[in-house]
């Protein structure tokens, strides 16, 4: 049974779903600005609705995070390390909101409509303004790389907890694995227990087996 304190299951589902979506968005974004082929239009058509979906998921996730307490970090972690962990999480949250909002505002400032599924238009976040478009475009690009670095640091920290410290931090965000249930022996009579163990253990050498045991029909074969 899993006894370590864990994040709420909804928080865990949102964490891993958003991790995949955000990483995909970073690569889609970089791919998008590196091509002038028809793929640019195609990638932008994915980038915009997916970015808005991330914004919606971030709102839900923040609600879940404020409603259900996060499990405490290991007590033996130095206070400075705990502070860095908490600060880095809030930086990640801030970027989960800032990136889509800046993307949306950037297009509004450029006078471009932001449409999501079936061409449904979203209202402009800011009025059309050339200089503001330039600033927001720069901010979206710079923060994208800050996001990349923050995620790399976060993944490094998660692996440090999982592989080096081997504490409860990584399991608190993962899904409990179903362990194979051991044979139910506690209720069984002693003789049944012995034979159940016998099937799991390697075969005993012949000399270790009681001579003339009628319950061991294969004795003669072993020699």
Query: Which residues here bind ligand HEM, judged by CB under 6 A?
Result: 11, 15, 19, 22-23, 25-26, 29-30, 32-33, 47-48, 51-52, 54, 65, 70, 73, 85, 89, 92-93, 99-100, 103-104, 107, 114, 137, 140-141, 144, 147, 151, 154-155, 158-159, 169-170, 172-173
How far is residue 191's CA from residue 175's CA, in Å, rounded to a whole number? Answer: 38
Query: Do 21 and 57 meet the contact criterion of CB atoms below 8 Å apart?
Result: yes
What secondary structure letter does DSSP report for 31? H
- Choose between 151 and 196: whose C-beta lies nearer to ligand HEM: 151
Between the CA of residue 204 and those of 95, 183, 207, 222, what are the distances in Å?
Answer: 62, 20, 8, 10
How far is residue 107's CA from residue 111's CA, in Å, rounded to a whole number? Answer: 6
- Choose between 168 and 193: whose C-beta lies nearer to ligand HEM: 168
113 phi/psi in degrees, rounded to 5:
-75, 145
Give the nearest distance from C-beta 59 to ligand HEM in angstroms: 13
- Choose between 129 and 137: whose C-beta lies nearer to ligand HEM: 137
3-state helix, strand, coil in the chain (%, to 5): 65, 5, 30
Give the nearest distance from C-beta 71 to ligand HEM in angstroms: 6
Give the nearest distance from C-beta 86 to ligand HEM in angstroms: 8
Beta carbons within 10 angstroms of residue 27's beta carbon = 12
How far is residue 9's CA from residue 92's CA, in Å, rounded to a whole number? Answer: 20
What secondary structure letter does DSSP report for 15? H
- Choose between 21 and 196: whose C-beta lies nearer to ligand HEM: 21
Give the nearest distance from C-beta 15 to ligand HEM in angstroms: 5
Give the nearest distance from C-beta 180 to ligand HEM in angstroms: 25
- Choose between 85 and 132: whose C-beta lies nearer to ligand HEM: 85
How far is residue 14's CA from residue 6's CA, in Å, rounded to a whole number? Answer: 14
Question: Which single residue brings its beta carbon nearest to ligand HEM?
Answer: 29
- Choose between 19 and 196: whose C-beta lies nearer to ligand HEM: 19
Give the nearest distance from C-beta 81 to ligand HEM in angstroms: 11
């Amino acid at each position: 049974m899993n006894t370590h304190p864990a994040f709420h299951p909804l928080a865990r589902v949102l964490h891993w779903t958003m991790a995949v979506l955000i990483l995909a968005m970073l690569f889609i974004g970089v791919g998008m600005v590196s091509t002038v082929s028809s793929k640019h239009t195609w990638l932008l058509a994915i980038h915009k609705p997916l970015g808005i979906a991330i914004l919606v998921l971030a709102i839900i996730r923040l609600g879940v995070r404020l409603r259900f307490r996060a499990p405490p970090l290991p007590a033996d972690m130095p206070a400075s390390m705990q502070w860095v962990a908490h600060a880095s999480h809030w930086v990640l949250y801030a970027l989960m909101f800032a990136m889509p909002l800046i993307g949306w505002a950037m297009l509004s400032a450029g006078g471009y409509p932001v449409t999501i599924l079936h061409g449904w238009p979203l209202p402009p976040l800011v009025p059309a303004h050339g200089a503001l478009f330039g600033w927001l475009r720069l901010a979206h690009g710079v923060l994208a790389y800050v996001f990349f670095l923050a995620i790399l640091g976060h993944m490094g920290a998660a692996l440090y907890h999982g592989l080096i410290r081997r504490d409860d931090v990584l399991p608190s965000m993962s899904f409990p694995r179903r362990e194979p249930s051991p044979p139910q022996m506690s209720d069984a009579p002693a003789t049944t227990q012995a034979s159940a163990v016998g099937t799991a253990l390697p075969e005993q050498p012949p000399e270790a087996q009681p001579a003339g045991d009628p319950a061991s029909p294969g004795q003669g074969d072993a020699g």
